[in-house]
Amino acid sequence: MGAFLFRLVLRNCLRHPLRTVLTVTGIIVAITAFGLLRTTVDAWYAGANASSASRLVVRNKNSLNFTLPLYYRDRIAQIEGVKSVSYADWFGGIYIVPKNFFPRFAVEPRSYFELYPEFVLSPDQMKAFLLDRRGAVIGRKTADKYGFKIGDQIPLIGDIFPGNWTFVVRGIYHGADSKTDESQMFMQWENLNETMKKLMPDHANEVGIFLVGLEHPEDAAMIAQQVDKTFANSRAETLTETEKAFQLSFVAMTEAILLVIQVVSFLIIVIIMAVMANTMAMTARERRGEYATLKAIGFNDRHVIALIAGESLLISLSAGALGTWLIYPVADWVGHRFGSIFPIFLVSAKTPWLAAAMALLIGVVAAVAPAWRAATLKVAEGFRGIG
């Protein structure tokens, strides 16, 4: 019986090949778009997800726009449970035109790379970087995009740090895993500070943030409190949080946009649900006579329901499978295309499951109304429309 019904379902699917092809195409587009939108949302959180639990970020309490004095470093280092302290400044700057964006940080190289083992740099490149004041290290992705090689010069127009700067590529780092951002550029903080001492003495010996490595990640909350207490009521009060909280605060600031993308990702499913429900409603209406016939020769309501639900599910699930499979190459393409906006654009493990669940939902919802109608159809009524 099951096999018979299945054959019937298959035949039904192929009765209006054009209609089936159109419906399948629609679902594929919707499911792929859904997966892509989810991946976009994930990309937003990529920074937070890649952050380590054993690192703290110390910034000025007023906002990131304010700096902290360099001598805080030693005070922080004295706090028990602190393994290492490094510091960094957002350099900003423009490479030829503002559109050529990749994050640029001025860092204290030795401690920074120690604190971030996910940025992998060969020892001799590291040595070359340390020896050259004007040296820079860039991520593999940025190097590929702009064709930078070791020894190349990168001219930058300073916006936060005024002036024209030239840096020499001394190293190209790659990420320890796929979640590492390979688009950044690092230069020596000391080089900047020398210039600031001459140009803007007020801003010399000031750093943007301190990065604190912990001996035991579980002490994070306590040590963060201690850091802030140390500098309470000083001229630059601090706000210390885990790297993840720090990253998430950026995400939170663009929450409105994220919310829109999330809503839209579900709207697209609702739209395709309407399309699919429409298809099934029409199909079932055209076959009222057949359902009446089936019932008249002894099939019961359950069989008719199975026939309609089976067709709906067969279409939605096979289209859903294709759509889910397509998410990967499309996300790959988007990731390359918009690499500067989203340094990490990876389909998460959850996304294909969610996409498949959506396809199932589409199939079920589309079958409900027509199946119910067919099941409650009186045989005599079903024949009425037939001449």
Partner 1 sequence: MTGVPLSYIFRNLWVRKLTTALTAGGMALVVFVFAAVLMLASGLEKTLVETGSYDNVVVIRRSAQTEIQSGVAREQAALVAARGEIASAADGSAEVSKELLVLVVMPKRISNQPANVTIRGLSERGIALRPQVRITAGRMFRPGSAEVVAGSRVAKGFRGAGIGETLSLGGKTWTVVGTFDAAGSGFASELWGDVDQMMQAFRRSAYSSVIFRLADGADFEKLRGDLEDEQRLTVEAQRETLFYAKQSEMMSSFLSVLGTILSVIFSIGAIIGAMITMYAAVANRTNEIGTLRALGFRRRNILAAFLMESLLLSLLGGVLGLALASFLQFYTVSTMNWQTFSELAFTFSMNTRVVVEALLFALFMGLAGGFLPAIRAARLDIVEALRSV
Footprint of partner 1 (CB under 8 A): 16, 18-19, 22-23, 25-26, 29-30, 33, 61-66, 92, 94, 98, 157-160, 162, 200, 202, 235, 237, 239, 249-250, 252-257, 261, 264, 267-268, 270-272, 274-275, 277-279, 281-282, 285-286, 341, 369, 387
> Minimum Å distance from CB 140 to partner 1?
24
The Cα 150–Cα 103 span in angstroms is 19
Q: Which is nearer to partner 1, 25 or 153 (CB)?
A: 25
Q: Which is nearer to partner 1, 79 or 330 (CB)?
A: 330
> Minimum Å distance from CB 69 to partner 1?
11
Nearest of 265, 252, 253, 133 to residue 189 by alpha carbon: 133
Beta bridge partner(s), residue 135: 168
Q: Which is nearer to partner 1, 215 or 286 (CB)?
A: 286
Q: Which is nearer to partner 1, 126 or 369 (CB)?
A: 369
Q: Which is nearer to partner 1, 90 or 146 (CB)?
A: 90
The Cα 72–Cα 239 span in angstroms is 13
> Minimum Å distance from CB 126 to partner 1?
31
> Minimum Å distance from CB 202 to partner 1?
6
The Cα 114–Cα 244 span in angstroms is 19
Q: Which is nearer to partner 1, 176 or 267 (CB)?
A: 267
- Distances in Å between the Cα of 134 and the Cα atoms of 23, 129, 317 are 59, 8, 57
How far the first Cα of the chain sits from its last, in Å, is 30
> Minimum Å distance from CB 134 to partner 1?
19
Task: Kindly report the number of other CB atoms within 10 A of residue 260's CB atom.
Answer: 10
Which ranges in 231-300 belong to alpha helices (H)? 243-253, 255-286, 288-296
Nearest of 154, 150, 152 to residue 166 by alpha carbon: 154
Beta bridge partner(s), residue 21: none
> Minimum Å distance from CB 355 to partner 1?
14
> Minimum Å distance from CB 234 to partner 1?
9
Q: Which is nearer to partner 1, 37 or 115 (CB)?
A: 37
**Exposed / middle / buried, residue 45 (Cβ in 10 Å: 0-12, 13-18, 19+):** middle
Nearest of 340, 369, 202 to residue 280 by alpha carbon: 369
